[in-house]
Amino acid sequence: MLDKLSSSLKDTLKKITRLVFIDERAINELVKELQRALLQADVNVQLVFNLTKKIKERALNEKPLKSITQREFIINIVYEELTNFLGKEKSEIIIERKKPFKIMMVGLYGSGKTTTIGKLSKYYSKRNYKVATLGLDVHRPAAPEQLEQLSEQVKVKCFTEKKEKNPLKVYKKFESEYKNYDILIIDTAGRDALSSDLVKEIELLNKEINPDEKILVISADIGQAAQAQAEQFHKSCNISSVIVTKMDGTAKAGGALSACAVTGAKIKFIGIGEKVDALETFNPPGFVSRLLGMGDIEALLEKAKEAISEEQAKDLGNKFLKGEFNLIDLYEQMEAMSKMGPISKVLEMVPGFSQIKLPKDALQVQEGKLKKWRFILDSLTKKELEDPELIDSSRIERIAKGAGVPTSEVRDLLKQYKQAKKLMKMMKGSPDKMMKKFKFPGMK
Ligand SMILES: Nc1nc2c(ncn2[C@@H]2O[C@H](COP(=O)(O)OP(=O)(O)OP(=O)(O)O)[C@@H](O)[C@H]2O)c(=O)[nH]1
Ligand SMILES: [Mg+2]
């Protein structure tokens, strides 16, 4: 999906990470390459221009906070602006508990309405909703059968009436049965273009059925034309969500996605194949980080936030700088790290971090060890905590006994502390370099 865009974006960012200095020329070059990549993905020229202008302005005018490198700073700007560009945050269809919650699918001929009904049925069934489908495409002869087959495949009830040519009558025929289902997904007919008869039919169904959610289905291969389509449908029948299908089969998907986003229509899902499970929720931040090959930054930042507050991080950073770092700080830091998961995984998720080489075991600690260390710290005197150099062999014996752990455990903790301290000394006089090594992902 959007492989070409993804690889050109990645290449562009890789170039940035290889530079030692990022000057105006480098930023201009970056902007030019971003433009080229986005235009190739069929994003509207004006939109591309606005986007890259913003990126350039921010890159030139904003100052990176002390704790991030300039490269990380630039990559983050690109990430943030692309995310804004695609609709900022994930928005979901809220399924009300109202037997049934009615979802009506609309869209042009062949856009993927019926297929997507199969996918949605599976998606919601898996989440424990009792789903039924209703075929109101009375125009295309094979439509009811297609819906029946799909429904059978995903094991949901399907209501169709092959002989009836009036969609409203089909709806009425089964009306007493809908209350047995949590969600009713309604298929409607497509047309070649948004014609007056299609509008009339949708308006009528809309009035009589009163759906809770009206989903416009748009095929990604129409590229920028998605904008006009989304606007037209929105005007005539007030759609509440968009699903962009066939994201897998076109290099133009950037056009459709950005064009929908610009109308304010919320893209809730994307279709990425013909099979019934080829459906993904659309989450701009996750989508962009995947495009840029940055892993799931968002998830990481969330985790980091939980693990350590910015204040704490800053505090600790300052202590490092002043050389006041003691055993309690070490413990807190390790605890924060362990909450985020194995450090190698954590670093993978942070852009630019994969290049930084941390001493392998300098900060790595397992859960079980942490618990023992807590006991050890509890057995230390205040003096010892503040000045671990005091701790000699006889003190180690005493501490181990008090904590109920072998002396080797106490030595381990001290070793870890010394390593961290050594690292700190090594980098004294070069705070930037040091901050880089000790930066916490949650720190801005
Ligand atoms: N590759 C790919 N094909 C898709 C996707 N969604 C739908 N299709 C295909 O697109 C074609 C049309 O899909 P339908 O679901 O029949 O479209 P429709 O909107 O119901 O069409 P009408 O009922 O004729 O208006 C089928 O061959 C589907 O398999 C997708 O996400 N990826
Ligand atoms: Mg159909």
Each residue of 13-41: pLDDT tens digit?
877 777 767 889 999 999 999 999 999 88
Ligand located closest to 221 CA: 1
Give the pLDDT band of residue 375 (cuts 50, 70, 90).
confident
DSSP lists the bridge partners of residue 158 as: 133
d(CA 191, ligand 2 centre) in Å: 10
Residue 207 has φ and ψ, to the nearest 5°, of: -70, -45
DSSP lists the bridge partners of residue 157 as: 132
d(CA 280, ligand 1 centre) in Å: 16
- Cβ atoms of residues 340 and 370 within 8 Å: no
d(CA 115, ligand 1 centre) in Å: 5
**Helix or strand (DSSP H, E) at 271:** strand 267-271
Structure tokens at 387: 């000045």
Q: Which atom of ligand 1 is nearest to the CA of 107?
A: 19
Structure tokens at 90: 């994930």
State yes or no: pLDDT of 429 exceeds 70: no
Q: Where are the alpha helices (DSSP H) in 154-279?
A: 167-173, 196-209, 226-237, 253-263
Nearest alpha carbon, ligand 1 atom 13: 112
Q: Is 159 helix (H, G, I), strand (E, B) or coil?
A: strand
Structure tokens at 2: 């959007």
Distance separating alpha carbons of residues 418 and 413, to the nearest angstrom:
9
d(CA 120, ligand 1 centre) in Å: 13
Please give the C-alpha separations between residue 263 and each of 47, 241, 259, 260, in angstroms, as whole numbers: 12, 12, 7, 5
**Helix or strand (DSSP H, E) at 151:** helix 143-153
Nearest alpha carbon, ligand 1 atom 30: 246
Residue 157 has φ and ψ, to the nearest 5°, of: -65, 140
d(CA 126, ligand 2 centre) in Å: 23
Say what percent of the chain tops pLDDT 70. Answer: 76
Sequence-separated (6 or more) residues with CB below 8 Å from residue 86: 257, 258, 261, 284, 287, 288
Q: What pLDDT score does 57 carry?
A: 95
Q: What pLDDT score does 312 carry?
A: 57
Q: What pLDDT score does 313 carry?
A: 54
Distance separating alpha carbons of residues 6 and 35, to the nearest angstrom:
13
Beta strands 131-135 and 183-187 are: parallel
More confident residue, 112 or 360: 112
Which of 120, 133, 245 should be mutated for ligand 1, with most atoms under 8 A from CB?
245
d(CA 133, ligand 2 centre) in Å: 12
Q: What pLDDT score does 343 carry?
A: 46
Distance separating alpha carbons of residues 331 and 216, to the nearest angstrom:
53
Q: Which residues line ligand 1 (CB under 6 A)?
A: 107, 109-115, 137, 140, 143, 190, 217, 245-246, 248-249, 271-274, 278
Structure tokens at 250: 């076109």
pLDDT averaged over every residue in the chain: 80
Which of 114, 115, 117, 270 should be mutated for ligand 1, with most atoms under 8 A from CB?
115
Q: What pLDDT score does 334 carry?
A: 66
In the Cβ-directed half-sphere of 66, how many Cα atoms lie within 13 Å?
A: 11
Rounded mean pLDDT of 48-68? 86
DSSP lists the bridge partners of residue 105 as: 215
Give the pLDDT band of residue 144 (cuts 50, 70, 90).
very high
Give the pLDDT band of residue 366 (cuts 50, 70, 90).
low
Say what percent of the chain tops pLDDT 90. Answer: 37
Sequence-separated (6 or more) residues with CB below 8 Å from residue 123: 269, 279
More confident residue, 329 or 36: 36
More confident residue, 19 or 141: 141
- When mean pLDDT is compared across 63-67, 74-78, 90-94, 436-440, the lowest value belongs to 436-440
Rounded mean pLDDT of 142-157? 96
Q: Which atom of ligand 1 is nearest to the CA of 249?
A: 1
d(CA 266, ligand 2 centre) in Å: 22
Nearest alpha carbon, ligand 1 atom 4: 274
Q: What pLDDT score does 145 carry?
A: 96
State yes or no: pLDDT of 436 exceeds 50: no
- When mean pLDDT is compared across 25-29, 258-262, 324-328, the lowest value belongs to 324-328
- DSSP annotation of 266 reads P
Nearest alpha carbon, ligand 1 atom 6: 112
* Residue-wise pLDDT tens digits, 168-206: 999 999 999 999 999 999 999 988 877 788 888 888 999
- DSSP annotation of 111 reads S
- When mean pLDDT is compared across 152-156, 303-307, 404-408, the lowest value belongs to 303-307
Structure tokens at 375: 């006991």
d(CA 281, ligand 1 centre) in Å: 18
Q: What pLDDT score does 435 carry?
A: 44
pTM above threshold 0.95: no
Distance separating alpha carbons of residues 115 and 275, to the nearest angstrom:
8
Rounded mean pLDDT of 230-252? 88
Q: Which atom of ligand 1 is nearest to the CA of 270?
A: 31
